Amino acid sequence: MAQFTHDVLVIGSGAAGLTAALHLSRLGKVAVLSKAELTEGSTFYAQGGIAAVLDSKDSIDSHVDDTLIAGAGLCDTKAVRYTVEHSKQAIEWLIEQGVAFSTEPPDTNGEVKYHLTREGGHSHRRIIHSDDATGRAVSTTLVGAVKQQSNITLFERYNAIDLITDNNDKGNHVAGAYALNLDNDSVDVFNARFVILATGGASKVYLYTSNPDVASGDGIAMAWRAGCSVSNLEFNQFHPTCLYHTGAQSFLISEALRGEGAILIRPDGSRFMPEYDERAELAPRDIVARAIDHQMKKLGVECMYLDITHKGAEFIRGHFPNIYQRCLELGIDITQQPIPVVPAAHYTCGGVTVDLNSRTNVNGLYAVGEVACTGLHGANRMASNSLLECLVFAKAAAEDIEAKFNQPFQQSSIPEWDDSRVTDSDEQIVITHNWHELRQVMWNYVGIVRSDKRLARAQRRIELLKQEIHEYYANFRVTNDLLELRNLVQVAELMVQCAMQRKESRGLHHTIDYPETGQQLINTLLSPKLS
């Protein structure tokens, strides 16, 4: 067992975590924990881009209004405006770090402008991107920048187990975290005055997801166990268009295709989105996902199709080179064939409750990015606002830490991890079975369309699974799979509790028992009862 001491501990190595680390590196020693390789998170796989007001024809107010409309009445207006007002600054910072965004051909004066695309819910072209692999460009650039900073220490393949808190006369204060070293199975102690959770979302709780394997709700579960409140976890975004193919179950077909004119069609080639919304394929994701889900169930088929063949081969290969190449590897030429697509769990709109400084209700603990609920997304996230949120709120957290950095602080003494009373697991099948059952239960009962009966069934089964997993955790040595399962079952329970409290259909939460949207605008807030 090793002990490490830093001024700031950042748990997560995506856009949120690395942005925070870079802003803090001049202040003191920063540790960044990454559960897998540094780029193996949702940021790396983000295709579309980053929403920002960069065009003179666009405006702050327009971006704010679009976000509020998509959020179905539950956005925090202050959080939305704060985010949008800092969007240009965030993009300029990324460009300074070296992110190469796509550009237009030079105009008659030789001036080169950034290419902006449009996505669902946006009234203007405001999505700045790097071809169709923006996340990869952002992730690799930030990783490169972090590696140049001597004050930042990177710990790859470390899975945080739990936050360590200290209750004193000033309240509950974070003191660090225990983390499992996945290379040697030791549990190490990370002492830190400030901790930033940047662990991403929890879409792995569903059977079908566009997210990488690391998206197991770790930060939400750890924060809950440490005493943090959570908000709006009933709002889980299902991306309408994941590639339907056995060889690529989590490959995303970007929103940008529909922004550039792709249409959704049935197996017989007929279009259906105009029947559901006047914005057709450019409607917000929840509407598109429900429409696809409804058509699949109505026709008894396993997928719908996305057709962009009418745009021409040169246009498609130029704008979507990565999607074109990946589909081609799987035998689908998107310049000549429609793409088979299905909805899949994509984004967790709720999360750990934070303020405009990214502060949780535990002193010294911050949450940034998908793990957090800032109020930006409300009941439905608008496309390409998530990377923007990571950048803006990571900087906000760093600025708040900087303001407190020189205040007097007494570092707590953290005990070593005690595993003297546990043994190595002799039945991995318990984890494997419960893992599959949990994700199947969530997909069937807490998915795109819900009901009181489905939620009640899910709650009963999740409670039994939670008891089994807790017993297993208490008796056997921790492993990566066990930690993820423990976190997922906790987040699943919170999602169901939030969903059961909402007696209406709003945004991403659609229930057949309450199909109408209510008049009251109420956020769902859960607070843990700590002994």
State the sign of the Cα–Cα–Cα–Cα dihedral 249, 50, 240, 434.
Answer: positive
Q: Are 446 and 500 in contact (CB under 8 A)?
A: no
User: DSSP letter string over 466-515?
Assistant: HHHHHHHHHHB---HHHHHHHHHHHHHHHHHHHHHH--S-BTTB-BTTS-
**Parallel, antiparallel or unpaired: strands 171-181 and 187-197:** antiparallel
Closest CA to 395 of 198, 130, 214: 198
Instruction: State the DSSP code for 354.
Output: -
Size of the chain, expressed as the number of residues it contains: 531
Active site residue 285: yes
CA-CA distance, 115 to 256, in Å (whole number)?
Answer: 12
Q: Are 131 and 102 in contact (CB under 8 A)?
A: yes
CA-CA distances (angstroms) from residue 10 to 144, 152, 197, 411?
17, 10, 6, 17
CA-CA distances (angstroms) from residue 386 to 151, 346, 370?
27, 12, 7
**Could you give the angle at the alpha carbon of 493 between the alpha carbons of 487 and 497, nearest 5°?**
145
Max CA pair span of the chain: 74
Task: Work out the number of other CB atoms within 10 angstroms of the CB of residue 60.
Answer: 13
Q: Which two tokens stand for residue 335?
A: 């310049």
Q: Which two tokens stand for residue 319?
A: 């704008």
Which residues, including other chains, have CB under 8 Å from residue 3's CB and lie 6 or more apart? 188, 189, 191, 414, 416
**Residues facing residue 158 across a β-bridge:** 181
Element (H, E) at 387: helix 386-404
CA-CA distance, 490 to 470, in Å (whole number)?
Answer: 10
The residue from 126, 258, 285, 326 that is catalytic is: 285
Q: Are 27 and 7 in contact (CB under 8 A)?
A: yes
**Residues facing residue 81 across a β-bridge:** none
Element (H, E) at 34: strand 30-34
**Could you give the angle at the alpha carbon of 245 between the alpha carbons of 258 and 284, nearest 5°?**
25
Element (H, E) at 159: strand 158-168
CA-CA distances (angstroms) from residue 377 to 120, 148, 231, 232, 520?
14, 34, 12, 10, 18
The catalytic site residues sit at 285
